[in-house]
Structure 1
Amino acid sequence: MTRVLIRLALSLCALQISGVGADFSDVPPGDAVRSLAEDETVLPCVYNPTKEQTIVQVTWSKEQDDGTKQQIIMVHHLDGQTASGEWSRRVRFKNSDPTKDSSLVITSTELRDSGHYSCQVSTFPQGNFEKEMDLTVWTDPISSLEPVVLVEGKYGVAATCRSTALPTPQLSWDTELSGLSTNRTSDNGVVTSQFSLYPLRSMNHKRLDCLVWHSSYKGPKRLSNRLLVHYPPHAEITGFKQDWFLGLEKAQLKCVSGGNPPPRYTWLRDGKAVPDGAVPQLDGTLLFERPLMVSDSGMYQCVAQNLIDVGKAEVNVTIEEKQVWPMESMLMVVVGAAAGGLLLLMLIVIVSVTCHHKNRNKKLKRELTEKKQEITTLSRQASIRRMNSVSTDARGATEENIPLRVEGTLRTSLSSLGVSPYVTVNM
């Protein structure tokens, strides 16, 4: 009996040995696993036994708040698998042979699954080896952005951004607008950020984006938004330039107005309805669908109204019995006529100068031709005389000097024509 007890005690001691000579692979960094709610989670546990070891049993358990361990699933090399309670619908072993790969799979992870887990591998003859790890379950942020319509000149909150997740996300704003952001976190893990500013109409439709930062994101998630600013209209009438006359067709007055939201337009004449044939358009135009009559004259008023305020503008319209050229048109006609006259005068001067030079050149060319012919004739006569002369008297010598006189006459003629006297003339 004593020997039996001793053997039983030794066996129990052997089974209580934990972690000595353990060889686990595929261990998560820092013994921690992170997962997202509703995703599949794998808790790794792969034990590599020696040749002398045989894996007899694998048990997964989770530590409770009171420090006790709740068994999740167990597999015995002879009796098979057993899952406990509610875990049976959500857990399984990753491998069909859990003695080779004892990793645990949680098919649909829940927030309550966060906690401390242990994988215990029972071997023969060395005993038990255990691997512990922590599971942290995150949730994807649920975020929203609520814009606020501001009225020009009234300080207030322009937009509110909210987000909730595990771990708690962070919020920031991406905008060029000058404003103040305030952040706060509630007890239920919801973080809220508000952006406040003093609105101007120039800020309308400017970018005001909320950025959500979370550990499950590689970068910030952007919630796009544009600032909305309402401001009153400012009416102004265009289209009339003191040039309307009896019978003018397609005359129209245009009411130009800003304002956000876009205003509605109303037209009046002398505080009453506009005359028949003058039809208001949705874009603020008052269109006369018939030729103008003298009775259409009067004080026309445009009223532009939106949710913020009312804008008004007036113009006194007079209808002339005959067409009157406005000062601007007359001035343009005078300037155009002056420019045309100046252009015509320049053209006449240019043509006159050109014709004068052409006539002068023709006259000079004709005179030069006549002189050349005259000189050529004189030269021939002198040459004939020289050839026929056989006398050696003084009179003959005088005739031989005739070419010299001809040459002098030629120089004198060329000089009178404005040609250099030293130009060689081919005889």
Structure 2
Amino acid sequence: MMLMKLLLPLMSIVLIRGVHGQMVQMDSSKSGFVGSQVELRCQFVNSNPPVKISQVTWQKLVNGTKQNVAIANPALGVSVLSPFRERVRFKNPAIRQRTPSLEDTTIVFNKLKLSDESTYICEYTTFPAGNRESMVNLTVYARPMIQMSLSTPSIVAGTKDLKMTVATCVSANGKPPSVITWETDLDGESNTQEIRNPDGTITVRSDYLVVPSREIHQQLLTCVSTYKDEQYTDSVTLNIQYEPEVIIEGFDGNWYLNRENVQLTCLADANPAISLFQWRYLNGTMPSTVELRDDVMIFKGPVTYDIAGTYVCDASNSIGTGSASVEVIVTEFPSNPHGVSQEPQQAFAIIGGAVVCGTVLLAAITLLVVFLYRRRCMFKGDYSTKKQILGNGYSKAGSVPSHPSLPHSLPFSEDSDEEKKLELYRGCSILGRSVGELHDCSDSRMKAYHMGLIEDHEKCGHSEQTYIYDYGSEVEVSVDMIPQMDGSVISKEEWYV
């Protein structure tokens, strides 16, 4: 009795471990697209020692009830029930053998349908452990069909600023729904709506609205449909119909008497193309020299006063009619007699201005160079009114001031004649002579000295020259200075006081 009490807990532990060691392994969720293939995994993890598998049943959960899909029985074989018989099979070939292996009962769905979306249960019947099961959620996606189209083959431009639908983009039968956007340079807006279909798919429709006008004709409009992580694009080119916009070319404002080969051309921008051109003359009957060729009016012969007046061109298409006018004025003489266009004249003016500016600049530079060169050859020092050469001109009469003798060597540049001129003055000593003799000597020597200055002036090519003596201060002699009786010189341009 005591032994039985000890064995019962041990047997319970073994049975509990065996029961908890069995399990069914499945994926929590699977997905696939309509028309594709998907596998639903189901594997049985047996205990040790293993339990006996009596049957495996796949079921679909529909509105809370279980619907059998496929059954695998070791004694009865494999059975797939309708409506899955043509599209469902067991993946493991060992299930169909005489002694089947039922540990792996994965099934394969082919040609998925939207109706296949549901929760599926894989149930194992075992002995003596009982039933073990698990489940998987199958989601079925549907790729949408993208279509873009113009609202109508031809859109007519209106006279009012009213927006209208010019293009439509549709993402049909998608699951989940697409997101539609527009890529364009147009200043418009979009209107998007979703429509749920009975099979669970969603159709997205987006209309693009803009004011139709000639300016948006031939503009590109692109629809971008984003489905999950995929993008689809489609584009259209707008076809806007509008009435003609007309201008007249040919009259340049210079139609003068006897001018040849003049004509007027009617240019029209229209969609559809112009079907009819008509010309009118508002000043009476059309001149006899006019020849009409659709959009061109040719004036035969030389220009006369008879062709002056206002001309109108009417251009028509299926949308409407546009008009333009031009007033032709005939002058006696051409406004540009030489026949040179304004652009070449402007070019010549610019070139001429550049040449004049260059000439003036070159002349200024030349004058500056000449001025600097002349200044370099001019005398240096202060240009005082009166300078003493042979003595102190301010001495009182009858007295001879004492002066230091002139130096025997003075600093002159090479090839200078100043030293020779200075020798003339050394020949007249201011000591031991009377004032009269001094004046006589001074006059003769000053004449010789002055003659030497004239010669130097001719060599230099300028009007003035400076000579520097080391006689206490600078001694300046110029052709503009006049020698005095007291041995000094005075400038012609200064006042002597």
TM-score tier after normalising by the smaller chain length: 0.5 to 0.7
Judge conservation of contact 1:379–1:406 (CA < 8 Å) in 2: no
C-alpha displacement of 1:237? 0.9
Judge conservation of contact 2:170–2:203 (CA < 8 Å) in 1: yes
- Of the three residues 174, 180, 193, the one matched with 2:206 is 193
Closer/same/farther in 2, CA of residues 208 and 242 from structure 1, 3 Å limit: closer
Judge conservation of contact 1:246–1:323 (CA < 8 Å) in 2: no
What SS does structure 2 have at the residue aligned with 1:232?
A: strand
Deviations 1:280-322 (A, max 9, x none): 5xxx6x396x9855599586543333443211223355789x9
Q: 1:27 matched to which residue of 2?
A: 27
- Of the three residues 27, 50, 53, the one matched with 1:53 is 50
TM-score in terms of structure 1 length: 0.64
Matching residue's letter, 2:57: T
C-alpha displacement of 1:236? 0.8
Matching residue's letter, 2:65: G
Cα distance in structure 2, aligned partners of 1:340 and 1:27: 88
What SS does structure 2 have at the residue aligned with 1:235?
A: strand
Q: Which has the higher helix share?
A: 1
Matching residue's letter, 1:324: P
Q: 1:70 matched to which residue of 2?
A: 68
Q: 1:130 matched to which residue of 2?
A: 133
Deviations 1:80-111 (A, max 9, x none): 54333453332222344453532211121122
- Of the three residues 19, 31, 39, the one matched with 2:36 is 39
Closer/same/farther in 2, CA of residues 89 and 180 from structure 1, 3 Å limit: closer
Deviations 1:213-250 (A, max 9, x none): 54xx215544444555443322111222144575745x
What SS does structure 2 have at the residue aligned with 1:112?
A: helix
Cα distance in structure 2, aligned partners of 1:247 and 1:203: 43
Q: 2:119 matched to which residue of 1?
A: 116
What SS does structure 1 have at the residue aligned with 2:243?
A: coil
Matching residue's letter, 2:157: V
Judge conservation of contact 1:269–1:300 (CA < 8 Å) in 2: yes
Judge conservation of contact 1:364–1:417 (CA < 8 Å) in 2: no
Judge conservation of contact 2:142–2:176 (CA < 8 Å) in 1: no
- Of the three residues 80, 83, 97, the one matched with 2:80 is 83
Tell me whether 1:151 sits opposite 2:167 in the alignment. no
Tell me whether 1:183 sits opposite 2:193 in the alignment. yes
Judge conservation of contact 2:118–2:137 (CA < 8 Å) in 1: yes
Cα distance in structure 2, aligned partners of 1:78 and 1:374: 149
Question: Which runs of no fewer than 5 residues in structure 2 stay unpaired?
Answer: 1-18, 96-101, 380-414, 476-497
TM-score in terms of structure 2 length: 0.57
Q: 1:302 matched to which residue of 2?
A: 313
Cα distance in structure 2, aligned partners of 1:137 and 1:339: 79
Tell me whether 1:314 sits opposite 2:325 in the alignment. yes
Tell me whether 1:417 sits opposite 2:463 in the alignment. yes
Deviations 1:251-279 (A, max 9, x none): 65443444445545625465999989875
- Of the three residues 223, 245, 262, the one matched with 1:234 is 245
What SS does structure 2 have at the residue aligned with 1:75?
A: strand
Deviations 1:23-70 (A, max 9, x none): 333512xxx433211011222222222332256343323345693523
Matching residue's letter, 1:151: A
Tell me whether 1:101 sits opposite 2:104 in the alignment. yes
1:320-359 → structure 2 map (5 Å cutoff): 324-326=334-336, 332=342
Matching residue's letter, 1:62: K
Judge conservation of contact 1:122–1:128 (CA < 8 Å) in 2: yes
Q: 1:218 matched to which residue of 2?
A: 229
Paired residues, number: 384
Name which one, 1 or 2, has greater alpha-carbon Rg.
Answer: 2
C-alpha displacement of 1:206? 5.5
Which deviates further from its counterpart, 355-364 or 107-116? Answer: 355-364
Which deviates further from its counterpart, 257-266 or 330-339? Answer: 330-339
Cα distance in structure 1, aligned partners of 2:104 and 2:286: 92
Closer/same/farther in 2, CA of residues 418 and 71 from structure 1, 3 Å limit: same
